Copies of this chain bind each other. A is one copy, B any other.
Amino acid sequence: MSIEQFSVRGRLADTGEGITGDELQLAARNHGIPLEALRYDVTPAGLHYVLVHYDIPAGSAATWRLAVDGCVEQPMSFGLTELRAMTRRTVRVTLECAGNGRASLQPRPISQPWLNEAVGTAEWTGVLLADLLENAGIRSDAVDVVFTGADHGIERGVEQDYQRGLSLGEAIGSGAIVAWEMNGDPLPPQHGYPLRLVVPGWYGMASVKWLRSIELIDHEFDGFQNAVAYRIRQEADELGTAITRIEPRALLIPPGFPDFMSRHRFVAAGIVPLEGKAWSGWAPIDRVEVSTDAGVTWSPAKLDAAGNDELAWRSFSHDWDAAPGEHVLTVRAIDASGREQPVEAPWNRGGFANNSAQRITVLVT
């Protein structure tokens, strides 16, 4: 048995092929938000989606060090005590996995098999990345910023620490923070304890967990997770385009009560208040539309007041006059940049950024 047999390239499921054992292993350890938990404006830590590429590392806040080096005037290293002494801020951020929606694609790319639940919103407390970089002094030759986590593994034959790059402009302009608290508590192990990056507006792959190094480099970063993994492609061997910000999406809290196995819903006839959350990493949400007839007709939902963190999800509601029978509920978000969530998003080979509209089957009795 060779490394190549242990760690294979991605493939597409055959027509009609069920979820594989490899996909199930990932689904059993990672998890999405149970959709009823969309009721919380801030997701409790244990209900926020989790995607871990390799293993959750063991780390200690007492001994953790973060290096800041490369194209800086003064290479630096920070412990948690030193970071906590700096000006801190708390930001409310909606994070979504770039692979959300993958398992519904035809053909299905074989990887973590998300349906549509890989999302969550938390309040992250830490220091502005821009402040850290300013402390070290950004040299004029700096181009990209490379973030390295303590999680180590192999992926399609490439052994690596999890590592992602951002352009210097995005690293500063996105308002990224280096955080040690989630919802007012120390980070849970699965969310990066003791230290992680959080990049507002970007899919989760940018928010490197178990952060131990920030390096400024004088060229474009070409590491595996930027140049190979997280790209929109039609064919396996094309360069593709980089995945960046979160496409608009809305999700309804499934109304009524569920069947255990099918997750179909049962609702009593009459006025049913439908509620949910909508978000986009490109711009604030402009409007949300709800359909109770599988997308034939659409009604505008009522948007709750926007919060201070304009890329965090926004609550919406819509009263549905439910008549007996079977109905399919669906919903779509449109943001202020004009991006519209499609009913069916175009396919891509990695199964990324698939923001096809949610469908909930309801039996009204």
The answer, yes or no, to whether A152 is at the interface (CB within 8 Å) is yes
Residue A320 at the chain B interface, CB threshold 8 Å? no
Please, which residues of chain B bring their CB within 8 A of the CB of A188?
A: 44-47
Contacts of A115 in B (CB 8 A): 24-25, 28
Please give, as numbers and ranges, the residues of chain B lying within 8 Å of A260 by CB-CB distance. 7, 53-54, 153-156
Determine whether the beta carbon of A117 is less than 8 Å from that of B32.
no
CA distance A44 to B58 in the complex (A): 13
The interface residues of chain B lying within 8 Å CB-to-CB of A361 are 6
Pick from B3, B21, B23, B261: contact of A7, CB below 8 A: B261
- Is A26 part of the binding interface, using a Cβ–Cβ cutoff of 8 Å? yes
Contact status A259-B37, CB under 8 Å: no
**Inter-chain contact B28/A264, CB cutoff 8 Å:** no
Residues in chain B near residue A63, CB distance under 8 A: none
A contact residues, range: 35 or more
Contact code string A251-293 (vs B, CB < 8 Å = 1, else 0): 0001001111111101000000000000000000000000000
Chain B residues in 8 Å Cβ range of A50: 31, 46
Docked CA distance A220–B141 (Å): 77
Cβ contact within 8 Å between A266 and B6 = yes
Closest 10 CB pairs of A and B: A18-B18, A19-B19, A31-B31, A46-B46, A27-B27, A1-B326, A7-B259, A36-B55, A155-B260, A29-B34
Residues of B within 8 A of A25 (CB): 115, 262-263
A20 within 8 A of B: yes
A149 at interface (Cβ–Cβ under 8 A)? no
Q: Is the interface of A mostly helix, strand, loop or mixed?
A: mixed
A124 to chain B, nearest CB (A): 15
Verify B56–A155 contact, CB threshold 8 A.
Answer: no
Contacts of A54 in B (CB 8 A): 257-258, 260
A188 (CB) vs chain B CBs: closest residue: B46
Q: Using Cβ atoms and an 8 Å threshold, which residues of chain B touch A47?
A: 56, 188-190
Q: Does A66 contact B (CB under 8 A)?
A: no
CB atoms of B110 and A261 under 8 A apart: yes
Minimum Cβ distance to chain B for residue A146 (Å): 20
17 A-B contacts (beta carbon < 8 Å): A1-B325, A1-B326, A7-B261, A19-B23, A19-B24, A24-B115, A28-B32, A28-B117, A30-B31, A31-B31, A34-B190, A46-B46, A46-B189, A47-B188, A55-B257, A111-B261, A153-B258
Q: How far is the CA of A254 from the CA of B153 in the complex (A)?
A: 13
Chain B residues, CB < 8 A from A89 = none
Structural contact, B258 and A154, CB atoms closer than 8 A: yes
A34-B55, A155-B261 known; 8 new pairs, CB 8 Å cut-off, are A6-B266, A22-B261, A22-B263, A27-B27, A28-B114, A29-B31, A155-B259, A159-B266
A22 to B264, CA, bound (A): 10
Which residues of A33-87 are within 8 A (CB) of B? 34-37, 39, 44-47, 50, 52-56, 58
